[in-house]
Protein backbone atom coordinates (compact mmCIF):
# COMPACT_ATOMS: atom_id res chain seq x y z
CA UNK A 1 0.00 0.00 0.00
CA UNK A 2 1.21 3.50 -0.80
CA UNK A 3 1.55 5.72 2.27
CA UNK A 4 1.40 9.47 1.68
CA UNK A 5 2.21 10.38 5.28
CA UNK A 6 5.88 11.16 4.51
CA UNK A 7 4.87 13.58 1.74
CA UNK A 8 2.28 15.25 3.92
CA UNK A 9 4.76 15.52 6.79
CA UNK A 10 7.27 17.13 4.40
CA UNK A 11 4.69 19.70 3.33
CA UNK A 12 3.76 20.45 6.94
CA UNK A 13 7.39 20.76 8.04
CA UNK A 14 8.18 23.07 5.12
CA UNK A 15 5.26 25.34 5.90
CA UNK A 16 6.16 25.42 9.60
CA UNK A 17 9.76 26.33 8.77
CA UNK A 18 8.55 28.98 6.32
CA UNK A 19 6.43 30.61 9.05
CA UNK A 20 9.36 30.64 11.46
CA UNK A 21 11.66 32.16 8.86
CA UNK A 22 9.05 34.75 7.89
CA UNK A 23 8.75 35.77 11.53
CA UNK A 24 12.51 36.24 11.70
CA UNK A 25 12.49 38.36 8.53
CA UNK A 26 9.65 40.48 9.92
CA UNK A 27 11.28 41.10 13.29
CA UNK A 28 14.98 41.53 12.44
CA UNK A 29 16.63 44.55 10.86
CA UNK A 30 16.72 44.43 7.08
CA UNK A 31 20.11 43.31 5.81
CA UNK A 32 21.14 41.72 9.10
CA UNK A 33 22.73 38.30 9.14
CA UNK A 34 19.62 36.80 10.77
CA UNK A 35 17.28 38.36 8.22
CA UNK A 36 19.42 37.26 5.27
CA UNK A 37 19.74 33.73 6.68
CA UNK A 38 16.00 33.57 7.20
CA UNK A 39 15.37 34.61 3.59
CA UNK A 40 17.62 31.80 2.39
CA UNK A 41 15.76 29.48 4.77
CA UNK A 42 12.46 30.56 3.25
CA UNK A 43 13.68 29.53 -0.20
CA UNK A 44 14.82 26.18 1.18
CA UNK A 45 11.42 25.70 2.84
CA UNK A 46 9.66 26.55 -0.43
CA UNK A 47 11.78 23.97 -2.25
CA UNK A 48 10.94 21.37 0.39
CA UNK A 49 7.21 22.01 0.05
CA UNK A 50 7.40 21.88 -3.75
CA UNK A 51 9.34 18.60 -3.68
CA UNK A 52 6.89 17.07 -1.21
CA UNK A 53 3.94 18.14 -3.36
CA UNK A 54 5.53 16.55 -6.44
CA UNK A 55 6.09 13.35 -4.46
CA UNK A 56 2.47 13.37 -3.34
CA UNK A 57 1.32 13.91 -6.93
CA UNK A 58 3.44 10.97 -8.10
CA UNK A 59 1.94 8.78 -5.37
CA UNK A 60 -1.54 9.85 -6.44
CA UNK A 61 -0.80 9.00 -10.07
CA UNK A 62 0.54 5.59 -9.08
CA UNK A 63 -2.58 4.81 -7.07
CA UNK A 64 -4.73 5.94 -10.00
CA UNK A 65 -2.76 3.73 -12.38
CA UNK A 66 -3.10 0.76 -10.04
CA UNK A 67 -6.84 1.31 -9.77
CA UNK A 68 -7.12 1.52 -13.56
CA UNK A 69 -5.31 -1.80 -13.92
CA UNK A 70 -7.52 -3.47 -11.32
CA UNK A 71 -10.75 -2.14 -12.85
Helix pair 33-70, 5-27: axis angle to 10 deg: 160
pLDDT value of residue 32: 95
Q: What is the mean pLDDT of residues 6-23?
A: 96
Supply the pTM of this predicted model: 0.83
Tell me what pLDDT residue 71 has: 65
Q: What does the mean pLDDT of the chain come to?
A: 92
Nearby residues of 53 by Cβ (< 8 Å), 6 or more positions away: 7, 11
Q: What is the pLDDT of residue 1?
A: 58
Amino acid sequence: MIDASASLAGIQKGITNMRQQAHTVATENAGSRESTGAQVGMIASQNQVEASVKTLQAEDQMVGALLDVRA
